[in-house]
Amino acid sequence: MKKKLLILLVLVLTLTSCGLDVSPQVEVKNDINLTIDGENLDGFEGEWTITREKKDKDGKVTIIITIEKKEIN
């Protein structure tokens, strides 16, 4: 009887411990330092759209990154 109670207790504790949610603290910063030909581009503030395109050709992978500034009306 004690063995069955112990097994039941371990089973209940195992199932309840898996049900608890753990939420990590995550912080995201959107700071981008843009450098072209070794020179840092400062003062370009605004909203930007960054897109990525991946191309596979002849076994080589090419990634094209496009950065466009959004016009504010």
Tens-place pLDDT, residues 37-65: 766 666 666 777 888 999 888 888 888 88
Residue 47 domain-assigned (yes or no): yes
Is 61 within 8 Å of 55 (Cβ atoms)? yes
Does pTM surpass 0.75? Answer: no
- Could you give the number of structural domains in the chain? 1
Q: How far apart are CA 55 and CA 58, in angstroms?
A: 10
pLDDT tens profile 2-33: 888 888 888 777 766 655 666 677 777 766 66
Domain containing residue 62? 41-73
Residue 69 domain-assigned (yes or no): yes
Cα 10-15-19 angle, rounded to 5 deg: 145
List, in sequence order, the alpha helices (H) in the chain: 2-19
Expressed in angstroms, the distance from the first to the final Cα of the chain is 76
